[in-house]
Amino acid sequence: MKTPRSVTTLEKCGGQYIYLGLEKGILQRLYNTDGYSDNVVNLLVNVDGLPLYKSSSLELWPIICSFDRCKPFIVALYCGVGKPSGVEAYL
């Protein structure tokens, strides 16, 4: 299936960060949605953190987007000890 065995991450906001792409996610959803004819996309953005383990301080902070009737998609992922430092760099 040619699934990547490794992912390149960046050191950012005090942890590991990977950006998957906002434009890529939107275009994939528009391409896979039958009959989408609106000229405007109202984007919903959700950011929330969750602990990876009960006994660890590592947290995963995904940036997830969706619009209209389309399934949500991941734009970026952050993993680090606690919240990402610097909202501007994270978003």
In the numeric block, which tokens belong to residue 90? Answer: 């994270």
In the numeric block, which tokens belong to residue 28? Answer: 């994939």
Measured between its terminal Cα atoms, the distance across the chain in Å is: 31
Please compute the mean of the pLDDT values over residues 36-60 and round it to a whole number: 84
Number of domains the chain is built from? 1
Cβ proximity of 82 and 41 under 8 Å: no
Whether this model's pTM surpasses 0.85: no
pLDDT tens digits, one per residue of 14-46 = 888 999 988 888 888 877 766 666 677 788 999
Residue 4 located in a structural domain:
no
Host domain of residue 54: 10-32+43-90
- Alpha-carbon span 78 to 30, nearest angstrom: 26
Residue 26 located in a structural domain:
yes
In the numeric block, which tokens belong to residue 27? Answer: 């275009």
